[in-house]
Amino acid sequence: MLKALIVDDEYLVRMGITQTIDWAEYNVEIIGEASNGEEGLELALQHRPDVIITDIRMPYMNGLELIEKIREQDMLVGIVVLSGYDEFQYAQAALRYGASTYLLKPINIEELADTVRSVGDEILGKKQLSKRYSQLNEEIAAISKQFWQDLLHGQLHSEEFITSKIKLLELQLEPGKAMLPLSIAFPADNGLQGTDVGKALVDEAAVILEAYSFEQLCLFRDSHLEWVMILRTDEPELAGDSARRLGKQLSEWSQQHFGQALSVGIGKPTQEWNGIVDSYKQASLAAQRALSGIERVLYAEEEAGARCRREIRDALAFIREHYAGNITVEMVAAAVFVSPTHLMHLFRKDLNKTFYECLTEYRIEEAKRMLRNPMYRVYEVGNQVGFTDSKYFSQIFKKMTGIPPSEYAKTYG
């Protein structure tokens, strides 16, 4: 049933409209009456009618002002203006302001009822069409998100399927254009993963992107700690610098509005679809390593870097670069030109830790970073951070974090 609102400063006119027409016969419900534009606007915002029947000359806020205010609210509502012969110029102005039509006084009751139903039916049609468009957009957004997630996490292997999705989502790359993935990472155990923050991030990204030549292909939440943005650019050689400025703006915005900075990792621009996965992995790794400082291991060691002697700084750099391999203190000692015994002594003296404690801590922190990303499987992580025995990896991980790696992945992934 159509909902209609009557706005007229004359009580008898309002009574005549409501009581001399059997509105139910026209599938119309009168949901309210107002004696001036201010009251009418308040009722319109409260009840969201399909049709407003309004006079032009009224106290406090006239009909033209009411129409203008309604249109500023972006309400999908039909407006029927009641106008006297001496107000014809106002009726024409009302049409320019966004009224649907006007009727000249004295009003023909049957004509008014037919007009309200006609205008209302048109509005309902537009609302249904708008709803359908919204549903389609939501469906396309869901398809797009699923496509990107499956693609970036290596779940798609059929070139024919990938090509069909690219065509469906209009993601084709024209000559000279490239894709650029960004990983937007939130620190664990903070309040920056809520729905409100996510919506604010989407809105802010849209505002910031207006200043750049990028086209946003997607922006979605990949896990509760990471959002993924894929940009398209026709200036691949300049994209890296622009993306870094964009990432800095997003991080500063987060710090300013939520008291905590997010981290943005940027992949390498790629003009080939088969390069997007590796580029995304680069972005995700960069974002995680940038968090809150962020190479969490060696954190005390790095902060103490200025106080550590050269051999320790070089050893820590060697660990960072080669932690995933089967490295030993002998290997590191040879790389920094000291004996193994002397190097172990320096670790104890400068860091109050053994060489193997530092190595294990770094490996576990890297494992935690990987487990927060659903693209990595739990059984793969231990091997990728330097543990050849998965059972031993699980034991060490639980000892250092208090929970098994599988539980950590479920909680933070």
Domains and CATH numbers, the chain: 2-127 (3.40.50.2300), 173-293 (3.30.70.1290), 299-412 (1.10.10.60)
pLDDT in tens, the chain (413 residues): 999 999 999 999 999 999 999 999 999 999 999 999 999 999 999 999 999 999 998 989 999 999 999 999 888 999 999 987 667 777 788 888 889 998 988 889 999 999 999 999 999 999 999 999 999 988 998 999 999 989 988 888 888 999 999 998 988 888 889 999 999 887 765 555 555 677 888 889 989 998 888 999 999 888 777 889 999 998 888 888 889 899 889 988 888 887 777 888 898 999 888 899 889 988 887 787 776 443 433 444 444 444 567 888 888 888 888 888 999 999 999 999 999 999 999 988 888 889 999 899 889 988 888 888 777 888 889 999 999 888 999 999 999 888 999 998 888 76
Helix (H, G, I), strand (E, B) or coil at 267: coil
Contact yes or no for 307/318 (Cβ under 8 A): no
Tally Cβ neighbours within 10 Å of residue 132.
10
Cα–Cα distance, 267 to 189 (Å, whole number): 26
Tally Cβ neighbours within 10 Å of residue 196.
9
Q: Where are the alpha helices (DSSP H) in 48-180?
A: 63-72, 88-97, 109-152, 159-168
Q: How many degrees, rounded to 5, is the angle at CA 377 between CA 374 and CA 380? A: 140
Q: Which two tokens stand for residue 354?
A: 């053994």
Nearest to 258 by CA among 312, 324, 193, 320: 193
Q: Which residues pair with 412 in a beta bridge?
A: none
